[in-house]
């Protein structure tokens, strides 16, 4: 049984449950993608500035 | 990758904040999908609102911070590029969450209203807000001196913010398909567990916002720093080239056989 099926079995057996799950998956997927892009950008730029010059270190 | 690169823009405090945000988002899933009951009228589709309402709240919050930071930049006593970076970072995150708000709202609308989109006052003013701040972000990308960019972005940010109270009041000022506020300070017209799920969503999204804003502002600082260092390097190279040409001219032309 997949993770989504487990969630569905808990409380989402009603009509529309699958579309709600897709909505949640899309929302969290988009949040994850934006966060990953931000972290990657931070790491890439961070390599070009010495640590001692960064105000937060 | 160097240790510095791996560290990125994180610190001990930001990691704690990130951990809290991640835990909060997990709670949103648990409350939103499992613990919260279906609504008597909307059924399972009410679960979209545990994402939609926090996203709308963050749109207000982020554009509010953009407006505040823009005002602080324009005020001579507090003028600093730090406010400009904060304004830009908050606007980018605001555009992101306004997009999420429109997405989750349209998914919910399809199931409850029967359509993804209606030219309703709340929806239209929210879409306008999204476009206004997209324009604000585009304005920031136009090449200019940091001070020039900051000044025009600050003015644009304050002008664009005018739409926020219009969005908020749209359900009272016009007859709209969109429902009026469900959660009011004096009287919440919502079941206890649903209200709590909504509260969990708002807290978790706010923690996520704080984490994103912290890192995005630091990325903005790094962008400015890398650009300034690149410019310094280019100037040093041009000066070195100029000195080499001067030296060659002083020594005189070489006589070739």
**A46 interfaces chain B, CB cutoff of 8 Å:** yes
Q: Which residues of B touch A33 (CB under 8 A)?
A: none
Nearest CA in chain A to B105: A23
Q: Are B2 and A47 within 8 A, CB to CB? A: yes
Q: What is the DSSP letter of B31?
A: I
pLDDT at B248: 85
Among B43-47, B75-79, B249-253, the minimum mean pLDDT is found in B249-253
Domain boundaries, chain A: 16-49
CB-based contacts of B236, cutoff 8 Å, min separation 6: none
Residue A5 banded pLDDT, cuts 50, 70, 90: low
Partner B contacted by A38 (CB < 8 A)? yes
The token pair at A17 is 């449950």
- Quote the tokens at residue B235: 């100037």
pTM as predicted: 0.86
Token pair for residue B246? 């001067």
Q: Is the pLDDT of residue B193 over 90?
A: no
Whole-number pLDDT of residue B28: 93
Integer Cα distance of B52 and B49 in angstroms = 5
ipTM, interface predicted TM-score of the complex: 0.84
**What is residue B235's predicted lDDT score, i.e. its pLDDT?**
85
- Of the pLDDT bands very low, low, confident and very high (cuts 50, 70, 90), residue B253 is low
Per-residue pLDDT tens for B1-58?
Answer: 445 444 688 889 999 999 999 999 999 999 898 888 888 888 888 899 999 999 999 9
Q: Which residues contact B144 (CB under 8 A, 6 or more apart)?
A: B152
- What residue ranges do the domains of chain B occupy? 13-177+188-213
Average pLDDT taken over every residue of chain B: 89
Q: Tokens standing for B23?
A: 């835990």
CATH topology of domain B13-177+188-213: 1.20.120
Q: Report the SS3 class of residue B117.
A: coil
Residue B188: pLDDT over 70: no
- B237 vs B135, residue with greater confidence: B135
Q: Is 70 exceeded by the pLDDT of residue B255?
A: no
Q: CA of A33 to nearest chain B CA: how many angstroms apart?
A: 11
Q: Where are the alpha helices (DSSP H) in B33-115?
A: 49-74, 81-112
Q: What is the CA radius of gyration of chain B?
A: 25
Kindly compute the dihedral angle of the four CA atoms of residues B247, B248, B252, B255, in this order, to the nearest 10 degrees. 150
For residues B63 and B91, the answer to whether their CB atoms sit within 8 Å is: yes
> Does residue A1 carry a pLDDT above 50?
no
More confident residue, B73 or B3: B73
pLDDT at residue A17 in the model:
80
Q: Mutation test of the interface with chain A: which of B30, B218, B223, B233, choosing the one with the most A Cβ atoms within 10 A?
A: B218
> Best mutation site among A8, A12, A38 for testing chain B: the one with the most B CBs within 10 Å?
A38
């Amino acid at each position: 049984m997949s993770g989504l099926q487990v969630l569905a079995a808990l409380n989402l057996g009603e009509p529309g449950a699958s579309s709600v799950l897709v909505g949640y998956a899309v929302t969290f997927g988009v949040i994850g993608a934006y966060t990953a892009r931000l972290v990657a950008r931070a790491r890439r730029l961070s390599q070009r500035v010495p640590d001692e010059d960064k105000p937060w270190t | 990758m160097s240790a510095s690169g791996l560290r990125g823009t994180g610190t001990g405090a930001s990691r704690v904040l990130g951990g809290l945000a991640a835990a909060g988002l997990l709670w949103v899933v648990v409350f939103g999908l499992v613990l919260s009951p279906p609504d008597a009228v909307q059924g399972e589709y009410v679960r979209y609102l545990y994402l939609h309402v926090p996203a709308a709240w963050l749109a207000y919050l982020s554009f509010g911070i953009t407006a505040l930071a823009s005002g602080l930049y324009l005020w001579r006593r507090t003028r600093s590029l730090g406010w400009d970076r904060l304004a830009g970072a908050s606007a980018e995150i605001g555009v992101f969450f306004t997009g999420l708000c429109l997405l989750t709202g349209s998914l919910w609308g399809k199931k409850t209203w029967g359509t993804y989109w209606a030219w309703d006052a709340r929806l239209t003013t929210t879409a306008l807000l999204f476009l206004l701040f997209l324009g604000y972000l585009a304005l920031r990308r136009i090449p200019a001196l940091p001070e020039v960019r900051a000044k025009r972005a600050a003015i644009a940010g304050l002008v664009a913010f005018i739409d926020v109270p219009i969005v908020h009041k749209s359900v009272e000022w016009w007859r709209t398909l969109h429902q009026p506020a469900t959660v009011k300070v004096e009287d919440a017209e919502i079941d206890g567990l649903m209200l709590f799920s909504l509260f969990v969503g708002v807290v978790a999204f706010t923690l996520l916002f704080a984490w994103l804003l912290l890192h995005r502002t630091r990325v903005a600082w790094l962008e400015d720093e890398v650009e300034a260092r690149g410019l310094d390097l280019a100037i040093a190279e041009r000066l070195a080239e100029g000195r080499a040409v001067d030296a060659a001219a002083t020594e005189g032309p070489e006589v070739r056989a």
